[in-house]
Amino acid sequence: MTGLLVVVSGPSGAGKSTVLKTVMEKRSDMFFSVSATTRSPRPEEVEGKDYFFMGFEAFHKLRLEGRFLEWTQYAGHCYGTLYDPVMKRLNNGETVVLDIETNGATQVMERYPAAVSIFLTPPSEAEAERRLRSRGTESEETICNRLEVTRGCFRYIDRYQYIVINEIIEETAKTLEAILTAERARTGRNPGLFADFRKQRID
Ligand code: 5GP
C-alpha cells in the first residue's frame, strides 16, 4: 500500500510546527519532510532537521535538476520540497507530512490528488501576531511582512479538504490524528484489503 501524503498549510503563528511535532512524537511511521530554503537559520534551528539551509545558487541548481516536488518564493526567500525522500517514504507505506505554504500546497494537490490537505489556523489574527512576536527571533519588518502574508493566505482556505483551528495544542494534535486515522481507513486507500474474500463472495 502506498503511504499517505499530507499537506499542512497555515499562516505564521498558526502553531503548525508545534502541533506537527506533538503528532509525530506519537507515531513512528510518520515522516516530516525537511525542506530546502534560502532563508537563514533561526537560533534554535538545526540543519537537516528543520531545513536544509542553502544559498540561492545551490537552491536553483536543485530546481533546474528537477529535484523539487514543489517550490515557491515566500517573504523574499525560496522554499522547496525534495522529491526523492518523499517518494521513498510513500513507497514504503509511510505517512509523509509537508508543512508548506499555499502556493506549494496547490502544486502538490494538483500533482497528487490523493494528498490529504489541511489548513491550520490560529483562532484570530491578534493571536497570530502575539505568537509571532513571542518567538522573539524576528525583526519588526519581518513580522509585519509575515502578518501581511498571513492575511493573504486565508484566501486559499477553500482549496483544502480540512480546516483546523489551533487553540489548544493537544486538542489540535488529536484532531489531526483523527483526520489521518479516518483518511487511512478510506476504502479507496485500501484497494487490496480482503481481496480474496471479496472475490469468493462475488463468485
Ligand atoms: P518559515 O520561514 O517560518 O520556516 O516558513 C515560512 C513558510 O514557508 C511557512 O508557511 C512554511 O509552511 C513554508 N514552507 C516551508 N518549507 C516549504 C517548502 O518546502 N515549500 C513551500 N512551498 N513552502 C514551505
What's the pLDDT tens digit per position in 69-128?
999 999 899 999 999 999 999 999 999 999 999 999 999 999 999 999 999 998 888 887
pLDDT, one tens digit per residue, over 122-161 is 888 888 788 778 877 778 888 888 788 777 888 899 999 9
Question: Ligand 1 pocket: which of 6, 63, 71, 79 to mutate (most atoms <8 Å of CB)?
Answer: 79
Nearest protein CA to atom 14 of ligand 1, as residue: 100
Q: Which region holds residue 131: left if phi is over 0, alpha if psi is between -120 and 50, else beta?
A: alpha
Distance of CA 182 from the midpoint of ligand 1 (Å): 26
Would the pTM of this model clear 0.95, i.e. be above it?
no
Domains and CATH numbers, the chain: 5-185 (3.40.50.300)
Give 39: exposed, middle or buried? Use CB within 10 Å, 0-12, 13-18, 19+. Answer: middle
Distance of CA 132 from the midpoint of ligand 1 (Å): 15
Q: Which residues pair with 5 in a beta bridge?
A: 96
